[in-house]
Amino acid sequence: MDQQRFELWLPEYLSGELDPTQQAEMQAWLAQNAGARQRLAAFREIREQLGGERPQPPAGFLENYHRALAENLAREVARHPRTRKFRLGRPRWVPAGFLAAVLMLLMAGWYSGYRVGVGSGGGEAAFQAQILAFPILKNDTRQIGAFLSESELLLLSLMHVPGDPILSGEEWQTFRQMAVSLLGKSPELRRVAVEAGDYQLLQLLTRLEVLFYQIANSAEGERNASLALIRDMIGDLNMLFDLRNLQRVFKPSPDQMPA
């Protein structure tokens, strides 16, 4: 338990956000853990290199990604016992990949809506009104929503890369650059979440920051091992469901949209 707690404190330690007691505990742990000191040094180097425009994906990246996504969704649905009857009974003229994609999207949308309704006690609208009642969040809603959307895109991309990656080194570097960009935005949003008392958002941001740190430090030559670890950290799509749920809450209202 202490190991996990100290790992989660790494971003706060680097940003100087720990209280004196926590900082002393962290320094004692780092003194006994060479691996943690290496991760902290790498994390510090990433923070120092932040800035500038994020590189654009290489030519053909999005096309390859969407094709791989459709193929992987089809295989996932085919392996799921509850969908076999549906798959076997589809009309011959309907592509299997299309049905797979539709089914997965419907399942994700239903589950996200269910969690919002249960969690709020009054549905999505009431929950959104409750969150936006915090003055400090009113001006940050669009920023948080954009961060969550970009995070979901990165996680979905990583979840649907084939188990034996066919990505080029340049494409893998794109994933790492996305993670570095998100790392640079997360601390400010965590501050907003703390001041607003939104601990659901704070917990998710902390988990994402640890995940982005792992992605940013993944070497191109170790893609298989890195993907396995990253998928394990995402864990049974729970993090994706949390992202989708909170995105619905922080979607800008019409009066916040640009004119």
Mean pLDDT in consecutive groups of 10 residues from the start of the chain, 259 residues:
69 77 89 82 62 52 58 57 39 41 42 38 46 51 81 77 68 80 82 74 80 75 69 66 73 47
HSE-CB at 105 with a 13 A cutoff on CA atoms is: 8
pLDDT at 92: 40
pLDDT at 139: 59
HSE-CB at 25 with a 13 A cutoff on CA atoms is: 13
Which of the 8 DSSP states describes residue 258?
-
* Same-domain check for residues 137 and 212: yes
Is residue 144, in this structure, part of any structural domain at all?
Answer: yes
Q: How many domains does the chain have?
A: 2
Is residue 111, in this structure, part of any structural domain at all?
Answer: yes
HSE-CB at 68 with a 13 A cutoff on CA atoms is: 18
Which of the 8 DSSP states describes residue 16?
T
Please, which contacts does 33-36 make with residues 24 or more away whose CB atoms are closer than 8 Å? 33/6, 36/6, 36/7, 36/10
Is residue 33, in this structure, part of any structural domain at all?
Answer: yes
HSE-CB at 151 with a 13 A cutoff on CA atoms is: 30
**What is the 3-state secondary structure of 49-114?**
HCCCCCCCCCCCHHHHHHHHHHHHHHHHHHHCHHHHHHHHCCCCCCCHHHHHHHHHHHHHHHHHHH
* Same-domain check for residues 65 and 169: yes
* Same-domain check for residues 136 and 192: yes
**Which tokens go with 55?**
């590189």
* Same-domain check for residues 113 and 203: yes
Indicate the pTM of the whole model.
Answer: 0.45
Q: Could you tell me the residue range of the domain that residue 14 belongs to? A: 2-49
HSE-CB at 51 with a 13 A cutoff on CA atoms is: 4
Q: What Rg do the C-alpha atoms of the chain give, in angstroms?
A: 20
* Same-domain check for residues 71 and 198: yes
* Same-domain check for residues 76 and 173: yes
pLDDT at 35: 79
Separation between Cα atoms, residue 98 and residue 96, nearest integer Å: 5
* Same-domain check for residues 84 and 14: no
pLDDT at 235: 62
pLDDT at 64: 63
> Which position has the token pair 């290199």?
49
pLDDT at 215: 78
* Same-domain check for residues 18 and 139: no
Is residue 232, in this structure, part of any structural domain at all?
Answer: yes
* Same-domain check for residues 98 and 150: yes
Please, which contacts does 151-155 make with residues 24 or more away whose CB atoms are closer than 8 Å? 151/182, 151/208, 151/243, 152/240, 152/243, 152/244, 152/247, 153/178, 154/178, 154/179, 154/182, 154/212, 154/215, 155/211, 155/234, 155/239, 155/240, 155/243
